Structure 1
């Protein structure tokens, strides 16, 4: 039995595997417009010459199957590989105030941001800028700080190891170790609260 909530999320009460999981993965590949490319990517997930799944940190010392991923891991790979793109017209149509009213799920489903953006407070919209302007703005902000430790270089836990390595290298060359990621933001409450509950 499944019940659809007003936010579009389905309350799922079937087994967490089998044909229903396979169907859900196929539907996700179709929604992200990467049926062939996504299927090829999944065959490389958690394989010796492939990549580690961005969905979790489950250890996989032995690779015993061509399918070394779960439904949620497959969905994470498809979301990272999506062919859907958000162009400047999307931000012309949606103010930041309107975007705040949307669910995280809805925002994720719109696709990847394909252009550098800057926020225009007068219109409450993001507007597309060229790469030169984007990098100049970043440089001006960083160069305007009186101490590199006033900058914080946040990254998501879903960032690839290679991208995170290059990003932290840049931050350290800039002069700071302020480099939190999703585990700081998501789990800090656990680190503080869990010991108090024991």
Structure 2
């Protein structure tokens, strides 16, 4: 909103973001020192807060392309969820904020396949998050549940337990495509 690009697509935006959050941290540290209270910088508002703030912004300012044109705003110091980015790049960009957000922070990546089918990629992501000093992180991955037999796991063209195929208008529905998260 400030320079026309977010920190996932612009080094200038990344530096501006770190400067802003760094300033917030300096101020909370100064308040802690001056007031002998535990002020801190929090980097993870609740998902519901991000939606609530967006609704309030849209009501007050209308729909602004790139700012209020989605039903939600990106919370914390995340690269926007709609932006296509490699997991390793997302980690590199978001990690520096964790050192500034002493009241809490979170990072996550979305895997688009079964992590048990690519354990090396899964381990690489965990190690990258650890090595980047991310204090709290999560790896989200798809899990399907067959509504007939109750099988829980990754269901591609057919349930591996009961072999049921999901059909819609004569076509087999394929829930997701496989891809590596760390290309």
- TM-score for the superposition, normalised by structure 2: 0.23
By relative contact order (CA 8 Å, sep 6+), the higher-ranking structure is: 2
- TM-score for the superposition, normalised by structure 1: 0.22
Structure richer in helix, relative to its length: 1
